[in-house]
Amino acid sequence: MKLSRRSAAARVGVDEAHPRRRACRNRDSLLPAGSLLPRHRGSISGASLEAAPTLYVEHEGDSLLVDEATLAEIAITSNAKIVRGAAPADAFRLADVPGVGVVFAHAQGEKCARCWMILPEVGTHAAHPDLCNRCTEAVG
């Protein structure tokens, strides 16, 4: 089932009326950041959770739309980074979204046995060595 932009925003708690949302010049193109992930296949093989994209945005309002944790959730990646500024020349871009580029990298760390995210904290909990912080907290 494909989520609409509105339902994807609602799923992660992005308020349509929030001033940061209204300030985003490219909000209709930026919000479904997961739509960029099929493009990562040339640079990262495997599932989207193996990726840690860096989203470059030139307009300040665009960088205020979501935080990095929310972007990772929307994009279904293990991590995400948002950088305000011009994207490198080799960044992936969409022609109809000016001032935005994405560079894909491999997520760093080990794979959590519960959520499958690749995170550096996996393996640091004696009671649950195969879980990340969030999953360790969830299982107690």
Reported as a single tens digit per residue, the pLDDT across 53-85 is: 999 999 887 777 788 888 888 888 999 999 999
- Output DSSP code: residue 123: T
Q: What is the mean pLDDT of residues 126-136?
A: 96
Q: Kindly report the average pLDDT of the chain as a whole number.
A: 77
What are the residue boundaries of the structural domains of the chain, listed by start?
A: 5-108, 109-140
Nearest to 57 by CA among 21, 85, 88: 85
pLDDT, residue 45, reads 53
Q: What is the mean pLDDT of residues 19-36?
A: 47
Highest mean pLDDT among 10-24, 52-66, 93-107: 93-107
Alpha-carbon Rg for the chain in angstroms: 16
Q: Which CATH number fits domain 5-108: 3.30.420.10, 3.40.50.2300, 1.10.357.10, 3.30.2320.20?
A: 3.30.2320.20
Pairing state between β 54-57 and 100-103: antiparallel
Pairing state between β 110-111 and 118-119: antiparallel
CA distances from 25 to 36, 50, 78, 103 (A): 18, 29, 26, 21
Distance of CA 80 to the CA centre of its chain: 4
